[in-house]
Amino acid sequence: MRALRITLAFCALTLALGPALGADQADQIIRGGDQAVLGDCAGCHTQPGGRPLAGGLQLETPFGALIPPNITPDRDTGIGNWSEADFRSMMRTGIGHEGVRLYPAMPYPAYTRMTDQDISDLWAYLTTVEPVSNKVEANQLPFPFNIRLSMAGWNMLNFSEGAFTPDASKSAQWNRGAYIVQGPGHCGTCHTPKSILGADKDSQFLQGASLQGWFAPDITGNAQSGLGKWSQDDLVKYLRTGVNAHSIASGPMAEAVENSTSKMTDADLTAIAVYLKSLGPGGDNAQPAKPDQARMVTGEAIYRDNCSACHGGDGAGAGALFPALTGNAIVAQGNPETLARLVLAGSQAVHTDHAPTTPSMPSLAWRLQDQEIADVLTYVRNSWGNAAPAVSSGDIAAVRKELTQ
Amino acid sequence: MTRILPRKDVVIVGLGWTGAILANELTDQGLDVLAIERGPWRDTATDFNIGYAQDELRYSVRRDLFLQPVVETMTMRNDPSQKALPMRDFGSFLPGNGVGGAGVHWNGHTWRFWDSDFKTKTNLASRYGAARIADLQVEDWGVTGAEMEPYYDQFEYLAGISGKAGNIKGQLQQGGNPFEDARARDYPNPPMEMTYAPAMFAEAGRSMGLHPFPTPSANMSRSYTNPLGITLGQCTFCGFCERFGCANYSKSSAQTTILPVLMRKANFEVRTNSEVLHVDLHADGKSARGVTYVDSSGEEYFQPADLVLLCAYGLHNVRLMMLSRIGRIYDPNTGEGTVGRNYCYQTNAGTQVFFDDKNFNPFIAAGALGQTIDDYNGDAFDHGPLDFVGGSGINCIPTNGRPIGTRPTLPGTPKWGSAWKKATVQGYKSTLSFSAQGSSYATRNNYLDLDPTYKDRFGRPLMRMTFDFPDNDIRMSNYLSDRMEDIAKALGGKQYSVARLKKGWNSVPYQSTHNTGGAIMGTDPKRSAVNTFLQSWDVPNIFVIGASAFPQNAGKNPTGTVGALAFRAADAIRNHYLRNPGAPLVQA
């Protein structure tokens, strides 16, 4: 043991005395680590509790299942025999080592906006990750989607390669925010509605989308369904801690906060907030039709019995513990999928160092029928200043079916 | 065939309040900590689901969260001349089970014992003469109130206690308990808003010159974030605390104050549904080498560890010591041996006052929402002209108005039929209850040992409990019944009934899950099982943490003191024991 220590000390000494390149490389690896945080590589490529980047949990897409592969530098089962050029090509075009075409579940349509330097840094970092031998068969798709060559056509139709172009009329901070959101942060991968081919509908950028049984909400400046009521500080607080006065992250966003946004620098979080706050209200701000009064009465009774103990008689919630239902974007989405899921399956809140409580919404699927959930959600969506379309029992039934499959 | 597992720095037996506190402190110290818990994992949203947490039949009547006698029971008798018989069902007291332990289903009364409680023996002897306590086996704890203060403070801030200080740094505070010792600062949260019955009780008490104050409560009076960053919610007064897990994150427990942080630590692990059979000692019997446990499939494991912490329920700590041959079992004939010595309980009596024209809405309640009068507690009053020592807190804490259990009726009402039904309708809303929770002082013949006859499912002897209320405690309790009668008269009402405790402890009706002693702390290894840091005198790499360490019980709920002792033991391990592991912190 003592001998080993001496050897290590000697190596450290040699490193310290080495050429300036060594220090540069160290800096690059540190910057690359930051890029891995911005890009949330771990969110998909690390299983909860698993070895870092050695392959993730199965992703359900509308086309079938994919498993995020092992991206450690293991030569046999990871990307140890890739070159930096392979990696750059993959990030830029979705075409990786030996010309293999990736599916856009890997968000190369966003990563293509990254700068050469950032991609190079990220590569430098990935080469330093501990290699793990773990064979992952990424492609679980059914025919014909399992033919990777089909992605050539997909790219032709849906993909445009190219780095982020700064807007010279905006501040450096705004441009930094735009770069993260559109590029490495790949926010649109979840929050932008998809075409029938699974491509981003750019005209509805960040207006909210359904994926993996959750509805990723509108994060434009829309005052009703988006973040129009959030201040810049609200946004920074949410991204840093997972919790603010309006909402508590759970589901896939909890993962994004835990692995990525909570580890970003305050400067980057502020830049993201500046950019998002500059986005106009996507979609329309039209008031939805007022729901049926009888359903509101029923919904209120169900709310008092089942929800008010935590969320309050007035929907005000309790700080970091029980989310407010007033002015909460999740409540106000056109699509009630996440709401239905929360009531049926429950959900545990994000864990960050700033918000360690991890309170849970209990499952009420066993207690409330579809029509009752539809009524109580309709009530919540149209009380205390909220206004969102009524929820039907069919909406609930669809989510219940998905959850029980 | 016992499987041998990789070594751990620390093994903790039981993951309730004390286990979670110690685990959190020692993982902060960088140690690799394993907790072994006999019962299941328990978590708020899944196990205390808001939709069924308030199921009185399941949790209160059928006691779903409690230890079942098939898992472990004990034998009982009132005095050494009798043959002890096994309790086929727990009744008088209800030990906990599972992660969070009894802290999951407590009411939340969170007291500090007083300096005079910690010096029971010397204080009583000097004030009233040694003859007054000749029939008793009371002891000093070996600590002072001032030494305990910072650890009480730590526990109260961890648990977010709602209350009103009576004495901050020697300055008496209006509205608090004037009899308490000085504390460094007020409670972290203000007192809970009072309901009608305790407000009326307090008014009556004040009119008599007594000093009522809000009971310190682990039910949150407001949303609170503790020093670990964990947030609890404001109590909704649903009235389902004792025997229930809290669905609203409003009652402090390991789940709501520690586990969210602890469970995330890479150097902590819990193995649930795993029962420790015994602690394994080295051949010389002077140090522990680990524990042997069995999982739910019946597989047996040896878990080596450098430090073993017994953090089970106090009674189970004592039995594990006996089964593991840690120290010597107490013998009442010779007075020798320390393990099992000074088993004590709690000496309770209740009062009901019946009204015609009052509606107390008893269903608006919380486990520790009420008022206490300490004028007749401990040594707050002069016992000079009296024939006993000790005392009781008088508590009006209407914890619940649950429909099955809350059926107060006038004395003389039939026990069933239409007259009973009519009386319960009348009595439900208009009855005010309060009670005296009294000290329990040790005697030579109240003790714990191993039963010579009855064995558990693993073939290990059951523990035998020999207990009756000492004559001193009966006289104390009856004196308190008189004082309660005074208050009942002042309250008005058309009728009242005051219970008077008699000899012959009965293990069937519920009384109190405040079993104390059996592995008591002290400064003399001949009369205590652990030193004042709860370290075993006989096996110094074992600490025994819990109410098992109380030399006798005060007229107060034990949890506050248990939590403070846990923090004190953790402090001693972190700052002293680890500098020289395996060595005694106190030289005998």
Q: What is the CATH code for A293-404?
A: 1.10.760.10
Q: Average of pLDDT values for B319-338?
A: 98
Residue B429 has pLDDT above 50, yes or no: yes
CATH class name, domain A172-278: mainly alpha
Q: Look at residue B303 in the predicted model and tell me its pLDDT.
A: 98
User: Over chain A, what is the mean pLDDT?
Assistant: 88
Sort out which chain B residues have CB atoms less than 8 A from A318's CB and list them: 223, 233-234
Determine, for residues A356 and B248 on separate chains, whether the beta-carbon distance falls below 8 Å.
Answer: no
Q: Residue B58's closest CA among B47, B74, B72?
A: B47
Q: Look at residue A358 in the predicted model and tell me its pLDDT.
A: 93
- Is B514 assigned a catalytic role? yes
Determine, for residues A356 and B228 on separate chains, whether the beta-carbon distance falls below 8 Å.
Answer: yes
Contact A211, A62 (CB under 8 A): no
Confidence of residue A285 (pLDDT cuts 50, 70, 90): low
Residue B266 at interface with chain A, using a CB cutoff of 8 Å? no
Helix boundaries (H) for A39-103: 41-45, 84-93
The residues, ordered by sequence, that sit 6+ positions from B356 with a Cβ below 8 Å of its Cβ are B430, B494
Residue B212 has pLDDT above 80, yes or no: yes
Smallest Cβ–Cβ distance between A318 and the set B50, B233, B261 belongs to: B233
Cα–Cα distance, B528 to A326 (Å, whole number): 59
Q: For chain B, what percentages of helix, strand and coil (3-state, to nearest 5) are there?
A: 25, 25, 55
Contact B310, B545 (CB under 8 A): yes
Residue A99's Cβ-side half-sphere holds a number of Cα atoms within 13 Å equal to 2
Sort out which chain A residues have CB atoms less than 8 A from B255's CB and list them: none
Q: Average of pLDDT values for B123-147?
A: 97
Q: Look at residue A21 in the predicted model and tell me its pLDDT.
A: 54
Give the tokens for residue A292. 């049926």
For the segment A344-380, what is each residue's pLDDT rounded down to a tens digit?
Answer: 999 999 999 889 999 999 999 999 999 999 999 999 9
For the segment B530-575, what is each residue's pLDDT rounded down to a tens digit?
Answer: 999 999 999 999 999 999 999 999 999 999 999 999 999 999 999 9
Of A87-96, B282-291, B349-358, which gets the smallest average pLDDT?
A87-96
Give the tokens for residue B136. 């008793």
User: Over chain B, what is the mean pLDDT?
Assistant: 97
Q: Residue B360's closest CA among B493, B244, B175?
A: B493
Q: Residue B316's closest CA among B509, B465, B422, B151?
A: B465
Residue of chain B minimizing CA distance to A355: B229
The residues, ordered by sequence, that sit 6+ positions from B52 with a Cβ below 8 Å of its Cβ are A367, B58
Give the tokens for residue B500. 């008077």
Sort out which chain A residues have CB atoms less than 8 A from B232's CB and list them: 321
Residue of chain A minimizing CA distance to B53: A362
What's the ipTM? 0.86
C-alpha torsion angle, residues B120, B124, B127, B129 (rounded to 10) = -150
Cα–Cα distance, A262 to A279 (Å, whole number): 22
Determine, for residues A320 and B50 on separate chains, whether the beta-carbon distance falls below 8 Å.
Answer: no
Contact A69, A77 (CB under 8 A): no
Q: Look at residue A15 in the predicted model and tell me its pLDDT.
A: 46
Q: Compute the nearest-CA separation of A301 from chain B (Å).
A: 15
**HEC states along B456-484?**
CCCCCEEEEEECCCCHHHHHHHHHHHHHH
Smallest Cβ–Cβ distance between B223 and the set A309, A319, A355 belongs to: A319
Sort out which chain B residues have CB atoms less than 8 A from A254's CB and list them: none
Sort out which chain B residues have CB atoms less than 8 A from A356's CB and list them: 228-230, 260-261, 264
Confidence of residue B142 (pLDDT cuts 50, 70, 90): very high
Contact A334, A208 (CB under 8 A): yes
Determine, for residues A356 and B44 on separate chains, whether the beta-carbon distance falls below 8 Å.
Answer: no
Determine, for residues B46 and A362 on separate chains, whether the beta-carbon distance falls below 8 Å.
Answer: yes
Q: Which residue has the higher pLDDT, B7 or A153?
A: B7
Residue A1 has pLDDT above 60, yes or no: no
Contact B390, B438 (CB under 8 A): yes
Query: What percentage of chain B exceeds 70 in pLDDT?
Result: 100
Q: Look at residue A143 in the predicted model and tell me its pLDDT.
A: 77
In the numeric block, the tokens 């169900």 are attached to: A302
Question: Which amino acid, residue B495?
Answer: Q
Determine, for residues A310 and B44 on separate chains, whether the beta-carbon distance falls below 8 Å.
Answer: no
Cα–Cα distance, A310 to B50 (Å, whole number): 9
C-alpha torsion angle, residues B176, B180, B185, B186 (rounded to 10) = -30
Q: Residue B529's closest CA among B546, B513, B511, B510?
A: B546
Contact B74, B463 (CB under 8 A): yes
Residue of A248, A306, A310, A372 to mutate when probing chain B, most B C-beta within 10 A: A310
Residue A153 has pLDDT above 80, yes or no: no
Contact A361, A311 (CB under 8 A): no
Determine, for residues B225 and A362 on separate chains, whether the beta-carbon distance falls below 8 Å.
Answer: no
For the segment A198-209, what is each residue's pLDDT rounded down to a tens digit?
Answer: 788 888 888 988
Residue A6 has pLDDT above 50, yes or no: no
* Beta bridge mates, B388: none
Question: Which amino acid, residue A11?
Answer: C
Residue A140 has pLDDT above 80, yes or no: no
Determine, for residues B45 and A360 on separate chains, whether the beta-carbon distance falls below 8 Å.
Answer: yes
Cα–Cα distance, B268 to B27 (Å, whole number): 7
Phi-psi region of A206 (alpha: psi -120 to 50; beta: other; left: phi over 0): left
Residue B351, SS3? strand
Sort out which chain B residues have CB atoms less than 8 A from A355's CB and list them: 229
Smallest Cβ–Cβ distance between B233 and the set A306, A321, A346 belongs to: A321
Residue A46, SS3? strand
CATH class name, domain B2-579: alpha beta
Residue of B28, B48, B50, B257 to mutate when probing chain A, most A C-beta within 10 A: B50
Give the tokens for residue B533. 């840091």
Of A326-340, B118-132, B223-237, B278-292, which gets the smallest average pLDDT?
A326-340
Residue of A357, A366, A369 to mutate when probing chain B, most B C-beta within 10 A: A357
Contact B525, B540 (CB under 8 A): no
Residue A146 has pLDDT above 90, yes or no: no
Query: How do the domains of chain B map onto residue ranges?
Result: 2-579
In the numeric block, the tokens 């129009």 are attached to: A228
Residue of chain B minimizing CA distance to A347: B45
Determine, for residues A320 and B234 on separate chains, whether the beta-carbon distance falls below 8 Å.
Answer: no
Catalytic residue among B105, B383, B514, B576: B514
Give the tokens for residue B447. 């003790």
Taken in order B537, B96, B560, B571, is the CA torsion positive or negative? positive
Sort out which chain B residues have CB atoms less than 8 A from A363's CB and list them: 45-46, 49
Of A213-217, A300-304, B128-132, B376-380, which gets the smallest average pLDDT?
A213-217
Q: Compute the nearest-CA separation of A378 from chain B (Å).
A: 20
Q: Average of pLDDT values for A57-78?
A: 89
Q: Which helix (H) or strand (E) holds A251?
A: helix A251-259
Smallest Cβ–Cβ distance between B45 and the set A306, A320, A362 belongs to: A362
Q: Under an 8 Å CB criterion, which residues of A touch B?
A: 306, 309-310, 318-322, 346, 348, 351, 353-364, 366-367
Residue B217, SS3? strand
Determine, for residues B45 and A361 on separate chains, whether the beta-carbon distance falls below 8 Å.
Answer: yes
Determine, for residues B43 and A359 on separate chains, whether the beta-carbon distance falls below 8 Å.
Answer: no
Q: Average of pLDDT values for A33-60?
A: 91
Sort out which chain B residues have CB atoms less than 8 A from A362's CB and list them: 44-46, 49-51, 247
Residue B292 at interface with chain A, using a CB cutoff of 8 Å? no
Sort out which chain B residues have CB atoms less than 8 A from A320's CB and list them: 225, 231
Q: Look at residue B63 in the predicted model and tell me its pLDDT.
A: 95
Contact A288, A192 (CB under 8 A): no
For the segment B390-407, what is each residue's pLDDT rounded down to a tens digit?
Answer: 999 999 999 999 999 999
Size of interface A-B (CB pairs under 8 A): 66
Q: Average of pLDDT values for B499-525?
A: 97
Which segments of A235-325 are extended strands (E)?
none
